[in-house]
Structure 1
Amino acid sequence: MAYLAKEERRKAIILATLEVVKEKGFAGITTRAVAKQLGAATGILHHHFKSLTDLKCEALRYLSQKNGDNCISIAKDLTPTQALLRLISFNATSEEKAETSIWISAADEATRDPELARVYAEETNKSHQWLCSNLREGVKTGEYTLTLPVELAAWKLMSLAFNLYDVSNLPETELTPDMAVQILKEELKSTLGLDSKDLASQLLSSH
């Protein structure tokens, strides 16, 4: 592996780890697999990360920061409704689908790894905070009429969108993406007071 500064090398290791997770899930991460993806000896991982769990946690933090930066970037140019629909869209790119699979894998691994569970909760809380900000802004601009307190509405939407995406992408599920989108649209009408006109955007399309 070519010479890199310390922070650049740490980032390279984290990116290699995330590539391994896309293929094998968090449960399938080994120092050997990450080193192979990186094109380096396993010793370099031990030099930069105190344990495999530490590496998993840092990889999840990195992905969360990337997602958070994306939320901020999107919110700059769109209305609260447009930003929300974009971020819970089923019309995801291949990269976004891969990143969603990483979060699903992290949730599964968190049931076995207390330290990863703590980091997973911390990063999920950050997503919740962003969504709360979006909902408050939408209420302020008159786009949303909430039927629940902001914090509860945010958790409800996050949980529903995440689980619908998860189940609708299972190999033999009877829940199709179109059905999942329809369920989510009905929830957005109920919880946020959005109407069919608001939801006509292709941002929420499953195609």
Structure 2
Amino acid sequence: MAYLAKDERRKAIIIATLQVVAEKGFAGITTRAVATQLGAATGILHHHFSSLSELKCEALRFLSRKNEMKSRKMAQELTPTQSLLKILSFDATPEEKSEACIWISAADEAAREPEFGRVYAQESNRYHEWVCENLKAGAKTGEFTLSLSPELAAWKLMTVAHNLYDVSSLPHTDLSPQMAVEILKQELIATLGLKSKDLASQLLSSQ
């Protein structure tokens, strides 16, 4: 592996870790698998991270910060409805779908490993804060007519979207991705109201 500064090398290791996780899940990664993905010896991982658990935690934090920066950028460029639909994986790109799978795997890992679970909870709270900000902005502009408080509505939409994506991604499920999207859209109608022209447009385009 070519020479990199310390921070750049840590970042390269984390990115390699996320690539492995996207394929094998958090439960399936090893230092050897990450080193192979990185194209380096396993010793370099031990030099920068005290344990595989620390590496997993830092990888999740890295992905969370990346998602947060992207979300805040979207909030500046798009309407609240448009940015919410993007963050809930409407018309997701292959990269976004891969990242959604990583978050699904993270939820499973959080139940197995206490320290990772603590980090997962912290990053989920940060995600919730952004969704709350989005819902409040949409309500302020008249795009959303919330049936719940922004805090409760945010948790509701997050959990419904993630669970639908999780189940519809299983190889033998009867819940297709198209059915999952339709269920989520109906949940958006119930939770946000239909004042948003963007949401109405999305619903009409699927019919």
Whether these two folds match at TM > 0.5 is: yes
Whichever residue aligns with residue 139 of structure 1, its letter is A
Aligned to 2:95: 95
From the superposition, tell whether residues 44 and 203 of structure 1 become closer, same or farther in structure 2 (CA, over 3 Å).
Answer: farther
Task: Using CA pairs under 8 Å that are at least 6 residues apart, name the structure with larger relative contact order, 1 or 2.
Answer: 1
From the superposition, tell whether residues 201 and 176 of structure 1 become closer, same or farther in structure 2 (CA, over 3 Å).
Answer: same
The 5-angstrom pairing of residues 112-131 of structure 1 reads 112-131=112-131
Aligned to 1:142: 142
- Whole-Å separation in 2 of the counterparts to 1:165 and 1:204: 21
From the superposition, tell whether residues 5 and 188 of structure 1 become closer, same or farther in structure 2 (CA, over 3 Å).
Answer: same
CA contact under 8 A between 1:88 and 1:204: conserved in structure 2? no
Q: Which consecutive unaligned segments of at least 5 residues does structure 2 have?
A: none
Indicate the SS of the match to 2:68: helix
Residue 37 of structure 2 is aligned to residue 50 of structure 1: no
CA contact under 8 A between 1:106 and 1:120: conserved in structure 2? yes
Aligned to 1:170: 170
Indicate the SS of the match to 2:112: coil
- Whole-Å separation in 1 of the counterparts to 2:204 and 2:171: 22
Over the matched positions of the two proteins, sequence identity in percent amounts to 71
CA contact under 8 A between 1:10 and 1:48: conserved in structure 2? yes
Q: Which consecutive unaligned segments of at least 5 residues does structure 1 have?
A: none
Deviations 1:40-83 (A, max 9, x none): 11111111111110000000000001100110111111111111
Indicate the SS of the match to 2:117: helix
- Whole-Å separation in 1 of the counterparts to 2:33 and 2:68: 28
Residue 65 of structure 2 is aligned to residue 65 of structure 1: yes
The 5-angstrom pairing of residues 1-207 of structure 1 reads 1-194=1-194, 197-202=197-202
How much has 1:131 moved relative to structure 2? Answer: 0.2
Deviations 1:121-143 (A, max 9, x none): 00011110000000111111111
How much has 1:197 moved relative to structure 2? Answer: 4.8
CA contact under 8 A between 2:89 and 2:97: conserved in structure 1? no
* RMSD (CA atoms): 1.8
Whichever residue aligns with residue 33 of structure 2, its letter is A
Deviates more, 1:181-190 or 1:152-161: 181-190
- Whole-Å separation in 1 of the counterparts to 2:125 and 2:10: 25
- Whole-Å separation in 2 of the counterparts to 1:108 and 1:59: 15
Deviates more, 1:172-181 or 1:140-149: 172-181
Alignment coverage as a number of residue pairs: 206
From the superposition, tell whether residues 204 and 110 of structure 1 become closer, same or farther in structure 2 (CA, over 3 Å).
Answer: farther
How much has 1:87 moved relative to structure 2? Answer: 1.5
Q: TM-score, normalised by structure 1?
A: 0.94
- Whole-Å separation in 1 of the counterparts to 2:123 and 2:104: 13
Q: TM-score, normalised by structure 2?
A: 0.94
From the superposition, tell whether residues 70 and 159 of structure 1 become closer, same or farther in structure 2 (CA, over 3 Å).
Answer: same
Deviates more, 1:123-132 or 1:193-202: 193-202
CA contact under 8 A between 1:104 and 1:166: conserved in structure 2? yes
